Each structure stands twice: as structure tokens, then as C-alpha cells.
Amino acid sequence: MAVRATTQTRSGAKSTPPREWQRLKFPESLYNWGGLLLALVFLCYSIIYLNIPLERVSNMFGRVGTLITERYYPPEIDYVLEPDYLSSVFDTIQMAYLGALFGMMMAVPLGWFGAYNMTPSRRFVYPLARLIAMSTRAVHETIWAILFVTILGFGMMAGVLALTMFCIGFAGKLFAEEIEAIDMGQVEALRSTGASELSVMVYAVFPQVRVAFTGIGIYTWDVAFRAATVVGFFGAGGMGWYLKRNVLQIETHRVSAILLSIIVLVLISEAVSAWARARMAKAK
């Protein structure tokens, strides 16, 4: 107060009246609190609408505890070491490998068409490629698995195709984003010499994104492996089938052993993929 008083007397003229400092000013505060209130109302309404028994939430922790200790606790490790199960694990790895490979093969043109700076036609091809990438990714991999099992019957082919569909969208989106971030100078240089679009792609775009594509490829395999552990749940091959069988037979000790094996395998695949990506970044 004192400081302001002296400045006012020194300048003589009356400056703008002092404003009360507020964290939120009038319209913003209304929007913020209103939005929060709406969210809260939606929350309460959805709890009522979904008929969620809140009284069960309180004793849920005890129930989950007893469920784990009494039913799941000693995992039947011998079961996951049986040759049958191990061969299914092997099948799962193969399925993930093939699915990721096929998916990426189709994702490369999709990434090209879906990158805004390189797409052959911004009006028709670009939205189409984006739509394909969005819809293959949006439909969950288990739905793809069920659809392919319905069409092609039980077996690993359905699983491979389901993973392929999933990887197309996943890798296609990342590829397109990678191509959108390239240096356009080389593209212009090649275009000015009259090179065709394909040559521009091969000699100007591809060398720039090769390393990134390989990294995305390894990551796609990692994600596909995680998805591959459950596509068998609906009859598409791999270890998911063992999981489903034991869940239905309420062989809980075996289920917990299978879950443990999935966790270990995912950890291994994550470590391998991190190692390969680091190795490749170094070799670049």
C-alpha cells in the first residue's frame, strides 16, 4: 500500500485503480467449476446407471486377498514346464513375429499414403489411409481374432491375421508420423531432377526413416506379442487357449502359473526389444 501511495503522489496523475488479485477471474472460474460439477454429476450418474454395488467395493480388498491366497496362491509351476505348454508358447512367439512382419509390410505403404507431406493425393488417398489406420487400430485385437476364427476356423492362421490387422494400424500411424517429420530438402532435390514419386520415396524419404522404422518394427513385435498371449482365448492358437481351458475348468493354480509365465515372457520380450532398439540406435 505504501509503495503504491508514493508512486501515485510522485506521478501526480491517477493510474488504474488497484485490482484485487484472484487466482481465477470471473468467466474462467465459472467454466472451471461448472466443468468440474458436470464431471461430478456424470460420475455419480454413471455409478447409479451402471448399478455399481458400492458396498461391495469396501470388502473387495479382503475378497481379492482371500481369492489370491486361498485359490491362486501356490501356482502349479510344473504345468507351465510341460512340453505341450512350452510348444504353445513357441507358437505364440511365432504368431507375434509373423503378424508384426505382415502388418509392417502393409503399414509401409499406409504410412506413405497417410503422411500429409508425402501422400500422393491429399484429398482422397490421405483421408482413406488415415481411416484405414484408425479403424484397424480401433477394433480390438480380440474382436479381429473372433472374426477370423468365425471365417477361417480355429488355428493359428486366424491369430496371425488378427495380429496383422492390429499391427497395420499401430505401425501405420507411427510410420506416417515419422515420415511427416522428415527433412523436405532432399525430397525437393530429387523432385527438381524430375524423379518419380516412387524414386523420391526410395532415395529421399526411406534413408531418412530407416532407423526409426526398424525401431518401430521391434516395438510393434513387442506389442504384438502381448496381444498374442490372449488371441488364443478365442481359438486363434497359442497359449491363450490353455489359459481359457484352465479358467473354464477353474484350475486356479494352473491359471496363476500361466499368468506368471505370461508376465515373465512379457518382461523378457520387453528387455529384448529395449536391447535391440538401443543396439540399433548405437549402430546408426
Alpha-carbon gap, residue 256 to 68, rounded angstroms: 9
Q: Could you tell me the maximum CA-CA distance found in the chain, to the nearest angstrom?
A: 94
Amino acid at 265: L
Site for another protein in 239-258 (CB under 8 A): 243, 247
Task: Pick the stretch among 77-85, 91-99, 115-123, 174-182 that binds another protein (CB under 8 A).
Answer: 91-99
Give the x/- contact pattern for another protein in 52-81, rule: CB under 8 A.
xx--xx--x--xx--x--------------
Between 150 and 196, CB nearer to another protein: 150
Alpha-carbon gap, residue 80 to 90, rounded angstroms: 12
Between 187 and 258, CB nearer to another protein: 258
CB atoms under 10 Å from CB of 220, counted, come to 26
Among 81, 267, 274, 281, binds another protein (CB under 8 A): 267
Helix (H) or strand (E) holding 117: none
The candidate with the shortest Cα–Cα distance to 214, out of 247, 265, 175, 179, is 175
Task: Pick the stretch among 16-24, 51-59, 121-129, 189-197 that binds another protein (CB under 8 A).
Answer: 51-59
CB of 38 vs another protein, minimal distance in Å:
12
Per-residue burial over 117-137, b = 16 or more CB atoms within 10 Å of its CB, e = otherwise = ebbeeeeeebeebbebbeebb
Among 30, 37, 38, 47, binds another protein (CB under 8 A): 47
CB of 16 vs another protein, minimal distance in Å:
28
Alpha-carbon gap, residue 202 to 284, rounded angstroms: 19
Amino acid at 25: K
**Per rule CB under 8 A, is residue 187 in the interface with another protein?**
no
Residues in contact with another protein, counted by CB under 8 A, come to a total of 55
CB of 26 vs another protein, minimal distance in Å:
19
